[in-house]
Structure 1
Amino acid sequence: MTISISDIIPVIIVFQSFLFAIVLLTDNGPKRNSNRYLASFLTLLGTQFMVIVGQGFGFNSTFIVSCICIFGFSYGPLLYLYTKTLIYQSFDFKAKHLLHFIPVVLILIISGFGYSTCSVGGFLMYISLVLYIVLAILEIINYRKIIRETQSTLNQTDLVWLQWTLILFSIALLLDVVNEFLLSMYLVGGISSIHLTIVVLVNWMFYKGLKQPQIFLGITPMDVEVLRDKKNKPARLDPNINEKEELEKIESFMKANDYFTNPQLNLKDLADHLNIAPRHLSYLINTFHRKNFMSFINDFRIEKAKTRLSKPEDPKETVLEVMYDVGFNSKSSFNTLFKQNTGLTPSEYKNKYAQK
């Protein structure tokens, strides 16, 4: 019996999926809850490919064949719930989440009676996967809106890597649909392009999932309420007497110290220092400054950077040192915001305005 690369790739997926799942389950860090969901996803993937490997060696089961689509109906809910564990700090699995797995249970029951639903329900499986991908993307979009209202930086909070996980998963799904209904997705030597994409996906999910930022542990219910308040409260032009006093208090505090240079500064921290309720502070900033919290803080950072660059205390001080000192930890974000504010890059600004 000749073993080719096309036979080895599914075995690699099985080995890596189970190995990575074990590593994730043994991690007791602050992200252990989300790691459990990722481990469940990888275990499910490893199990499916173990079935594929077994079928390649002639091990077939009528029951397994009749319910093989349960894997497809499980990936979507697991990926969606994994997304929510990353986004929400206090997300816990509840009984209502079991509703996502009703198709899986029904397929298993029907298959147990000797009937196959996968032959007619395969199309529904693809619809289910697309639906859950869309739901996960919508969660990320909403999350980013909340982050801009409650955090002062994206560096430790942005989930670009999760977005790319969804893209890779979508590519694998698209290739599978094309292979199923249009044309073969096999490459030279019988190698499946779907399997190659899944190998990349498994390694990407494990590496990025384990290396995700540990400083920010997700948004809180209060953060969610902040965005909800912004959407529900009507726009106003002029503050009342109390609001004027509060706005002056905020402005005085921000100008009197460099509290905004803390890169981990968030809405709650600032609200605590000002003795103002976080949701009310957000309302004041959004309504009367016409900015979200992140933009509000970054404007102070940019002004501080302009001063430092034009009047350097140390002639040898670099732009990068200034960037970190004023509270930025992303060079691309700093350069983009600085140029939007001044029309110049930080280096150009320093060369033009620095006092010799």
Structure 2
Amino acid sequence: MDTVFTIGIFLSFFLQFLLLSKPDKSLSDKILAVWMFIIGVHLFSYYIYLLGYWDLYPFLSGVHHPLPLLHGPMLYLYVHFSIKQNQDFRWQDYLHFLPAVGFYIYMIPFFFYSAERQAMINAGLTDAYSGFIVFSLAAFLISGNGYTIFSYRLLNKYQELTDQNFAYRKSIDLNWLKYFIWGIGVVFTMAISVSIAVEWIGFDFGFNADLIFYSMLILFIFFLGFSGIRHKNIFSVDASEKSRIVEPKNTGEYKRSGLKEDDALEYHQKLTELMKSQKPYLEPKLTLGELADSLDISANHLSQIINQYEEKNFYDYINGYRVEEFKERALKPENRNYNILSIAYDSGFNSKSSFNQVFKKNVGKTPSQYLASVKAES
């Protein structure tokens, strides 16, 4: 186990160094680097406890106790600034760290206790801080899982925003970030479950149950570090396009848009004609703003027209045309020598994964299954 802790501590600080040395590092990279440092300190503090250094140096006792309250905020801020256009750290963002600061302030008297009294508290021989320990477990559970849920909801809102403005998936796959969010949620849940079983129920695992949490945390570092090093800021669009990003709206909000119904119907007809005649969907990185320019209409009004009359978001609307384009091209005799992916790219798709996902959603079959069924019928 010593080797595992040593690797985890070294990797945490090494990944921090790599992140800070990235030439094009973003704010999210800096946040992840700080988080790696916190994790490294957390692991190191617990490791010296396992080695018995708390007995030799009592002033180190409990230093790592509030650190779990930092992991949730760091997760949220990392996700937040990975998908946020504005990369400025505001004073409100520092409020996420107040609970951990409050814990340290509350523990100040403990740090100045004599070595004998600290040892008694750590051994559970006195009721001092016993209520605080119970409160801490509840705070860790609420903080860890609460921030996990907030982060996941934030990612879903981003997905809705991109689907409303882009006809392609951004270069960074969001799936790893989703796994990342749920991964730390599982780590927190397991840690708190084990702590409750030991501290409240009195269950005896027969070994140091804390090692379950720290082992999972070390494994998590490998995934987090590898993905974070490769990760680029997700919401990277041209400056001219940022001003035209349209926020998703519900039907009731469109009533106040100022777009008259007659004008909306006229623009919808023009949109349909444009899609058939000029096929703008063949541009792999088509955006809502660019299509709005072709119709000489605002991006907000175009989004409203697509949502109301097509009952789809921009992403699904454009990719529906691409699917039909693929079906038409794939069945032409002159395209028999081309593979499926080549035809998909020619139809406006920019990646294999998005093509397969969109095609299955629209047709109910994979591209291969669809072409096989068509050949069987003919």
1:226 partner SS: coil
**Separation in 2, partners of 1:185, 1:16:** 31
Q: Distance in 2 between matches of 1:185 and 1:81?
A: 37
Residue identity in the other structure for 2:177: L
1:171-204: CA deviations, max 9, x gaps?
A: 2212212321215797999993323322221111
Amino acid of the structure 2 residue aligned with 1:202: I
Distance 2:195 2:16 in 1: 29
Structure 1's 338 and 137: CA in aligned 2 closer, same or farther, altered over 3 A?
closer
Distance 1:173 1:136 in 2: 14
For these two proteins, the number of residue pairs brought into alignment is 347
CA distance in structure 1 between the aligned counterparts of 2:18 and 2:205, rounded to whole angstroms: 32
Question: Of the candidates 218, 226, 229, which is equivalent to residue 210 of structure 1?
Answer: 229
> Percent sequence identity over matched residues?
27
1:177 paired to 2:192: yes
Corresponding residue for 2:359?
338
Normalised by the length of structure 1, the TM-score is 0.85
Q: 1:276 to 1:140 in 2, by over 3 A?
A: same
Aligned to 2:341: 320
Q: Give the C-alpha shift of residue 42 in structure 1.
A: 0.8
173, 190, 193: which one pairs with 2:212? Answer: 193
Task: Tell me the secondary structure at the aligned position of residue 227 of structure 1.
Answer: coil
> 5 Å matches for 1:1-356?
6-29=1-24, 32-60=26-54, 61-114=57-110, 119-123=133-137, 124-154=139-169, 156-182=171-197, 192-212=211-231, 216-217=235-236, 223=245, 225-228=246-249, 232-234=253-255, 240-342=261-363, 344-351=365-372, 352=374
Shift in Å at residue 278 of structure 1?
1.3
Distance apart, 1:54 and its partner CA: 2.0
Preserved CA contact (<8 Å) 1:229 1:283: no
The structural deviation recorded for 1:294 is 0.6
Does the 8 A contact of 1:168 with 1:197 survive in 2?
A: no
Normalised to the residue count of structure 2, the TM-score between the two structures is 0.81
- SS of equivalent residue, structure 2 residue 11: helix
CA contact (8 A) 2:140 2:192 kept: no
In 2, the alpha carbon distance for the partners of 1:92 and 1:63 equals: 37
What letter corresponds to residue 146 of structure 1 in structure 2?
Answer: L
CA deviation vs aligned residue, 1:205-248 (integer Å, no higher than 9, x gap): 1111222356752795754x521465622499x97332233223
1:215/1:254 CA distance change after superposition, 3 Å: farther
C-alpha contact 1:171 1:197 (8 A) present in aligned 2 = no
Match of 1:3 in 2: none
Asked whether the 8 Å contact 2:194–2:209 carries over to 1, the reply is no
**Alpha-carbon distance change, 284 to 99 in structure 1, aligned in 2, over 3 angstroms:** same
Q: Give the whole-Å Cα distance in 1 for the aligned partners of 2:168 and 2:10.
A: 38
Structure 1 residues 159 and 345: CA distance shift in structure 2, 3 A? closer
Name whichever of 51-60 and 134-143 sits farther off.
51-60
> What is the CA distance between 1:348 and its match in structure 2?
4.5
Distance in 1, Cα, partners of 2:206 & 2:297: 62
Letter in 2 for 1:153: Y
Unaligned runs of at least 5 residues, structure 2: 112-128
Post-superposition offset of 1:336 = 4.6
3-state DSSP of counterpart to 1:68: coil
CA contact (8 A) 1:338 1:344 kept: yes
Distance 1:114-1:151 versus aligned 2 partners, 3 A rule: same
Query: Which runs of 5 or more residues in structure 1 are unaligned?
Result: 1-5
